[in-house]
Amino acid sequence: MKAIINSIALAYDDQGKGVPFVFLHAFPLSRRMWDPQMAALSPRFRVITVDLRGHGESDAPLWLYTLDQAADDVAALLDHLSIGKAVFVGLSMGGYICFAFYRRFASRVQALVLADTRAGADTPEGKAGRFQMAQTAYRQGPAAIADLMIPKLLSPRTVQTKPDLVHRVRAMIEGNQISGIAGDLMAMAERPDSVPMLPTIACPALVLVGQEDLTTPPSESRLISQRIPGARLEIIPEAGHLSNLEQPDRFNRMVEEFVAGLGAANPSR
């Protein structure tokens, strides 16, 4: 489905009934990365996945991108769908957008699942790497970005043993436009430090990370879980950065258990 949101077309899926979940994807992927979660959770919950501005089947205008703007797009999509509050699941860049969303619209966040992400801003070296990657995208296109990103996204074990998954991830990356890839890189480079906000997060939070995640290693998730009051940390074995795709059953089970616990412990939140 598509809707005009903040003057551009955003592609999304909205399936199921019950507690609404909003899934926010990683860089440089698309809502297709949540296919295993959509299949497992939509029989029991309302599951919304969205191609963020610049990705997949959404428009990728050649203009300024910021993570606050991505959060505004998500809020406007929820308005379009008449959803007030939701459980937000963000992986990596999706997690950065969860922090931006919480900063702007905390009252709309029922709970947070922060997967394979980090709260800190980019280091100067990190920003320089984004600049170089944007030049590669501009000169060589999305296929070159796929070559660079696949070893950062999937564990060596996954790359060796799951060629179909590698193929799916490559197709998602190559389905993006250069304007969106470069826009995201600039948006991520400019994102603020969210570490000071962590102790102020008042909703229930689950922090997930693949044990073999080299891009946002478990130490980053440990910091997030230690600073958000009451947050729980779960480390997923035999998974790299895209833990939801590398170990979908474990990922889904942890999300389901977390949400089941919310009803009992915290019905009003």
Contacts with ligand MLT by CB under 6 A lie at 26-27, 92-93, 188, 215, 241
**Which one, 91 or 198, has the nearer CB to ligand MLT?**
91
Whether the CB-CB separation of 101 and 88 falls below 8 Å is answered with: yes
Cβ 109 to ligand MLT, closest distance in Å? 20
Question: 241 or 250, CB closer to ligand MLT?
Answer: 241
Closest CA to 230 of 195, 256, 208, 201: 201
| Nearer CB in complex with ligand MLT: 189/262 | 189
Total Cβ atoms within 10 A of residue 257: 12
The β-bridge partners of 88 are 22, 112
Task: Report how far residue 87's alpha carbon sits from residue 203's, in angstroms, rounded to the nearest whole number.
Answer: 10
Identity of the residue, 25 or 46, whose beta carbon is nearer to ligand MLT in the bound complex: 25
HSE, CB side, 13 Å, CA atoms: give it for residue 90. Answer: 28
Helix%, strand%, coil% for the chain, nearest 5: 50, 15, 30
Torsion sign (Cα): 11, 203, 94, 33: negative
Which residue type sits at 252?
N
Taking the least distance from each CB to ligand MLT, the nearer of 110 and 221 is 221
From the CB of 27, what's the least distance to ligand MLT, in Å?
4
Best CA proximity match to 59, nearest among 105, 102, 122, 11 = 11
3-state secondary structure of 51: coil
The nearer residue to ligand MLT, 137 or 259, going by C-beta atoms, is: 137
Tokens of 247: 């170990």
